Amino acid sequence: MEETLATLVAFPLAGILRDNEEYHKAAQVHTKTLTKLSSDAKWASQAPQLIEQLDPATHSLSYLYVLQTLKSTNGYPLDDLLLKLTTFFTSFDARQIRYGGKAFAKLLAQPRLQDLFPASIAVELITTALLRLDPTGSVLTSYHTDLVRFAYMTNNIEPVLLIIEKSIVFYPGMKGSTNTRLLSDLELPPSGFITVENDFTKPLDNKEILEHDLLRGLCFIQRRSWQQAFDALERVITFPSRDNTNASKIMVEAYSKWVLVGLLLSGKAPVLPPTTPTGSRKVHDIMGKPYYSLAQAFEKRTAESFKAEYEGLSQTFWDEEKNVSLLKLVIEHYQKWQILNLRHVYSKISLEQIRTRTQSGETAAPLGTVQEIETLVKGMINEGILQGEVVHPESGGPAYLAFSSGADDLTEEEFTRRMVATAQRIKALGPVVRATNERLTSNKDYLKWLAQQKKQEQHGQSQGGGAGGDVTGFGEVEDEDLMTGIVAG
C-alpha cells in the first residue's frame, strides 16, 4: 500500500519535468503504470484509503484512476463518491488529464453523472469539467450533445449557458489533426488532444452536430435570447452539404424556428445567408413556405394578411409543427414591432394615434382603448424593447409616448467597450486560426494546391501571392481554393 501510494504521487514530480518532452515521457510511463495497477486484485480494496492521500489538483491523473475504480465498484458510500467526483471535476489539472482520456470518459459516462446527481448539479458539473479540459470550448464532443439535450429536457439551461455560448469550430475526426506536437504541449490547440483516438469523444456524425446546434437554439429560445438563438439555428440551416444534398429533417425544423425567431429579433423576414447550400435552399423554399409567407405578411402595414396567413394553416399543421408557443409570441409581437417601427418616424406620438395606426396581430384590429395601448407600451418599456416613456401632460392634454432620442447612439465608453470586446474575441481566434493553418499545411492536398499555384505563377497567371497559404486572409480567392481542395480530397 505504501509502495502503491509512492508510485501514485510520483507523477508529476514538481521541478524535475522541465520541458514538454520529459513531461510527455513521464506521463506516458505513469499512465501505463496506472493501467497495470488498476488491473491488480488489491487495487480495488486499497482505493478508498488511497484516495484520501491524493490531491485531485496536483495528482490529477492518479486521482482519476483511483476515483474511476471507486465509481465502478460497489460498496463505496455514495455520498463520499459524489463529493469526490465534485472536487475532482472542479479542480483537476487539465494537462495531466490529457493522458487519461479513457478513464475520464468512463468517469463521465459509466454510469452517467446525470443518473447520479440531481439534474441541475449534473449539468453544472459536466459543464465545468468540459470547460476545464478545453477552456476555449471550441471542440465538439459527444458529451456536448448529450449535455445540451439533457439540460434542455430537464430545463436546466442556466448552468449550461457557459458552454453553449462558445463557438464550436472544431469537430472530431478532422483529417490531418494527428499531431506532430506532444500532448503535454501547453500551446497544443484543444483539437489536438480532444480526439476519438484519445477517447475524449466518440465519433460524431452530422446528425449529432445539427442536433447540437438545434438544441442550443432551443435553449436560447427558452431564455428569450433571440440573437443567440437565431445564430445557433442559422448554423443548422446553413450546414454545408456536398453535391446538392437535400436538407435533413432537423434543418427543416430549424428553418421554421429560425424564421419565427428572426421575426421576434428584428421584426422582418430573415433572408437566407449566402452560405446556404443550394440543395438546402431548395428544401427550405419548399418546406418552409408557410413560415416564409407568414414572415412576409408580418412586414405588412396592416395585420389582416398576417392574421389570414396563420389562420390559413390548419390546427393539425401547428400541432405537428410544435411551434405553437413561439407562434403565439410572434403574434403578440406583431403590434409591438409596429409600435417600435414608429420610432423611426416619430419622436413623440399620442397614444390615441398609436391606437389607430397599429393593430393587434390577434384580431387584426386596433386595440379598443387608449388604456390597453398604454399597458402594452409600458410593458414594452419594462421589457427593455422600447426606449422611451409615456407622458401624461400636466396641462391635461392627451397622453403620449416620447421615444428617447439618440437611443441608438452609443456613448463613447460603450463604443470603446464593445469594440475592445470584439477585438479581443477576434484575437482569441488567433490560436484557432493557427491550429487550422497547421492542420491544413500538413495536409497532402495542400501540397497539391501549392504545386498548382506554382505552375500558375510560372504561366504568369498568378492570382497574387498566396504561396504562404495564410488562412488569416479571409475572403481571398486562395482560401476558397484551399477549401475545395479539401472537399475534393
Partner 1 sequence: MADPLLEFFTQMDMQGSVVVKDAPKFDLDLYIQNYRGRTKFDRLLLIGRSSVKLCVEALKAALAEAKRGRDTQRYREVVEYLRIAAPNDPDAVYDKKWLERQKLANHEETQRLLSELKGYKNNLVKESIRMGNEDLAKHYESIGDLNAASEHYSKMRPDVSTAKHLIDVGKHLVRVAIQKREWNMVFPHLTKMSLGGQYPEEERSSQPFIRVATGIALLGQDKYNEAALAFLDADPAVPSKAYNELASRNDIAVYGGLLALATMDRKELQAMVLENQNFRTFLEPEPHIRRAVTMFVNGRYSACIEILEGYRTDYLLDIYLQKHVSKIYAKIRSKCVVQYLIPFSCVSLDTLEKAFGSPERPIEEELAGMIEEEVLEAKIDGIERLVNTVKIDPRAQMQASALVSAENYEKQAIERLRRMAIAAADLELMPTKKQGLHHQLGGDLAFGDQEIVMG
Residues 394-433 that bind partner 1 (CB under 8 A): 397, 400, 408-410, 415, 418-419, 422-423, 425-426, 429, 432-433
Least distance CB 433 / partner 1 (angstroms): 7
Rounded to a whole number, what is the largest CA-CA distance in the chain?
Answer: 91
Tell which one of 93, 331, 439, 453 touches partner 1 (CB under 8 A): 439
Q: Does 438 bind partner 1 (CB under 8 A)?
A: no
Site for partner 1 in 147-166 (CB under 8 A): 149, 155
Q: Does 286 bind partner 1 (CB under 8 A)?
A: no
Tell which one of 57, 87, 176, 390 touches partner 1 (CB under 8 A): 176
Q: Torsion over CA of 201, 207, 210 and 211, rounded to 10 degrees?
A: -80
Tell which one of 130, 250, 297, 377 touches partner 1 (CB under 8 A): 250
* Residue count (the chain): 489
Tell which one of 135, 173, 312, 468 touches partner 1 (CB under 8 A): 173
Of 100 and 189, CB closest to partner 1: 189
Three-state SS string over 264-322 comes to HHHCCCCCCCCCCCHHHHHHHHHHCHHHHHHHHHHCCCCCHHHHHHHHHCCHHHHHHHC
Q: How far is CA 376 from CA 297, 328, 336, 353, 388, in A?
A: 22, 16, 8, 14, 13
Q: Does 440 bind partner 1 (CB under 8 A)?
A: yes
Counting Cα atoms < 13 Å in the Cβ hemisphere of 448 gives 12
Site for partner 1 in 338-367 (CB under 8 A): 341, 344-350, 353
Closest to 156 measured CA to CA, from 70, 228, 250, 219: 219
Could you tell me which residues are beta bridge partners of residue 389? 402
Of 88 and 170, CB closest to partner 1: 170
Q: Does 125 bind partner 1 (CB under 8 A)?
A: no
Q: Does 474 bind partner 1 (CB under 8 A)?
A: yes
Q: Of the listed pieces 2-10, 13-21, 126-134, 232-240, which binds partner 1 according to CB under 8 A? A: 232-240
Q: Does 331 bind partner 1 (CB under 8 A)?
A: no
**φ/ψ of residue 389, rounded to 5:** -145, 155
Site for partner 1 in 182-211 (CB under 8 A): 191, 204-207, 209-211
Cell numbers at 419, concatenated: 469594440
> Cα 383 to the chain's mean position, in Å?
25
